[in-house]
Amino acid sequence: MTAQNTPRQDVLNETHHPALQSWLPSAQAAGGDFPIQNLPFAVFRRQGTGEAFRGGVAIGDQIIDLAAVAQAGLLKGAAAAAAQAGAQDKLNALMALGAPAWRALRLALSRALRQGGHPENPVEQAALQACLVPQAEAEYDVPARIGDYTDFYTSIHHATNIGKQFRPDNALLPNYKWVPIGYHGRTSSIGVSGQQFRRPLGQTMPPGASAPSFGPCKRLDIELELGIYVGSGNTLGEALDITDAEDHVFGICLLNDWSARDIQGWEYQPLGPFLAKNFATTVSPWVVTLEALAPYRVAFTRPEGDPQPMAYLDSAANRSGGAFDIQLQVGLQTPQMRADGQADASICRTSYRHAYWTVAQMLTHHTVNGCNLQPGDLLGSGTLSGPTLDQAGALIELTTGGKNPIALPGGEQRTWLEDGDSVVLRGWCEREGAARIGFGECVGTVLPARTLEG
């Protein structure tokens, strides 16, 4: 496989212009996640109603109801077909249409939302305004019907930090710098932001014990990740080439892959994670397209002396702009903080640019053996830790395996998550010469473990 072409979604176009403004004032809010340059997708309905879920697009503090847009016939051609596909209760049909359809819809909505409109898309402001639903009145569902979920391990800093705790003399296994590591996870327990889940139960082997014990997890952890939704898939037996792998990516979301570290330590050999990972995974409702992320691409590089990717994982486009500078933050709110009216406290800040493997490399490697990805499949990036410990995306790193508790406002500390704790993931992109865009929030809360009878 060779790689000379730049992925089409990498091209900057009129939708990215930092001076663009919408006739909706909230789209220009300072520090807002959803200006006209973003236009991410979600599945929503009005809270407390029996309405059907349907696709929507964020603009400012509002949601463009794609079902209403389609019914009103506001768009034409490929954009109209994409809006109709996005009007369903999941985004799979829209995802399956492919990158040209996603771009057509995003461009049409960008033009319709601009101050003064656009001559090539003369949508009346009043007509589109009638299709808006306030985000404050909405509830969300998982954006796609996820057929398969694969969790990768793309942060070399996370892999090294974990390795040092368990293998001080051999922190990083020799295959890590050659092959993107991943495992297949469970989809039924993936929930949307706002998810509440019970502390998991399982077997653990206490230090010094001769037999395992059973009970609630005592080392409940977070994993700061990004989720990558597959758009158009590939045929079984036909691999994706790295030159066009990104055209099969619908977009990126925030993802928290909660982990029971004590259960994991006992069960993971020889086949890997099981009960320690399958009890809950939380995703943000909003999916930001790769097209919207184009201004925030950065070069993909390897440290001097590290092996360069094999030919099938290498391309000129991937080297020049395969990484994304997505800023990431983890916030933690305890029950006491909530009772005192305090917001979550930041415990981690990092960037996706530190990942050792790119989005294109993940898709390419996943399919190189002929594995067929399908619209709506979800890939997890793995915990995204930066080069210093304050950029670590998991408590097991931040506390050095539980040895150094984190200090929180009001004198509280945390080594591992306690019942009632809420974790908030945030992501955004900003740089000079481009509009700031964001991912919204990904929130999850730990409930007490289920009580066993008898």
453 falls in which pLDDT band (50, 70, 90)? Answer: low
3-state secondary structure 360-372: HHHHHHHHCCCCC
For the segment 65-118, what is each residue's pLDDT rounded down to a tens digit?
999 999 999 999 999 999 999 999 999 999 999 999 999 999 999 999 999 888
For the segment 397-421, what is each residue's pLDDT rounded down to a tens digit?
999 999 999 999 999 999 999 999 9
Cβ atoms within 10 Å, residue 196:
13
Domains present along the chain, CATH in parentheses: 8-139 (2.30.30.230), 149-447 (3.90.850.10)
Please count the residues of the chain.
Answer: 454
Q: Whole-model pTM?
A: 0.95
Asked whether the beta carbons of 343 and 333 are under 8 A apart, the reply is yes
Do the bridges between strand 378-380 and strand 149-152 make them parallel or antiparallel, or are there none, so unpaired?
parallel
Q: Which residues are catalytic?
A: 158
Report CA-CA distances (Å) from 337 to 84, 392, 408, 420, 422. Answer: 44, 23, 9, 11, 10
Q: What is the pLDDT of residue 156?
A: 92
Residues 6+ apart with CB under 8 A from 182: 150, 151, 152, 153, 362, 366, 379, 382
Do the bridges between strand 345-351 and strand 327-333 make them parallel or antiparallel, or are there none, so unpaired?
antiparallel
Half-sphere exposure of 83 (CA within 13 A, CB side): 26
